[in-house]
Amino acid sequence: MMKLMMFTLVIVVSTCGIFSWAQEPVPATNIQPSNPTPPGNIAPSVSAVPSAPTADGATAAATNSTDTYSYDPTGKRDPFRPEEEKEVLVEDSSGAVVKRSEGPAPLAPRELDPLEAFDLSQLKVSAIIWDVKNPRALLRDPNGGTHTVRLKSRLGRRNGFVVAIREGEIVAVEYDVESDQWVKSFKVLELR
C-alpha cells in the first residue's frame, strides 16, 4: 500500500510541473502566430480604412482606438461642487420679508402640523418608545393636547423636525436666520 502511494505521489509531482527548473525555457522570439492573416469574414482593422480628404485637400489619417476623449465643461456644472443656492424670501425678526441668497430653498406652501404652532421650549416629552424599528415619542403642548411624533416629524416655529429619538430624549433641528445667514441649531427635549 505504501509503495502505491509513493508511486502516485511521484506521478502527480512530475506531471504538475513542480520540477520546471529542469526544463529549458522557450524564448519569446520563437513564438509566431499560427495564422497571421485574419479570415475573410472579419471586418478590416482601423488602419485599413482609407484616409478622408480634408478642406485643404490633404488627407487625414484615420484615427485609431488609442485616441483619448476630451471633455469640454463649458456650460455644464461641476458635479463635485454643491448646487448653487437659490434666492429665497425670508421673514426676519421684525416681520419684514427679505431676499436671501444663502440657505435652503423655501418650502412649498403646505398646511402646518399642529406642533409647528409652538416653540420647542413650550413642548414637553411625556413618553418615549425608542428601542424599536420605528421609535416614537408622545409630546404635550401648552394647551394640554398630546401628539405622537416620529423621525422626520415637523415641530417648532423655525422649520424644525425630529432627527433622533433616544432613551430619555428627542433631538430636533431648527433653522434660524442670524446675521443674514441660515443657522442650523440642534435642540434636545428631555423626558421629564
| Domain ranges within the chain, ordered by starting residue | 110-190
Residue keyed to cell 502566430: 33
For residue 115, count CB atoms less than 10 angstroms from its CB and return exposed for 0-12, middle for 13-18, buried for 19 or more.
buried
pLDDT digits (tens, 9 = 90+) for 56-112: 555 555 445 567 888 888 888 777 877 665 555 666 666 666 555 555 555 567 788
Query: Looking at residue 51, what DSSP letter applies?
Result: P
Identity of the residue numbered 4: L
Note the pLDDT of residue 88: 55
For the chain, 192 residues long, give each residue's pLDDT as a single digit of tens. Answer: 777 777 777 676 666 555 555 555 555 555 555 555 555 555 544 444 455 555 555 555 544 556 788 888 888 877 787 766 555 566 666 666 655 555 555 556 778 899 999 999 999 999 999 999 999 999 999 999 999 999 999 999 888 999 999 999 999 999 887 777 778 889 999 998
Give the span between the Cα atoms of 154 and 133, in whole angstroms.
Answer: 19
CATH topology of domain 110-190: SH3 type barrels. (2.30.30)
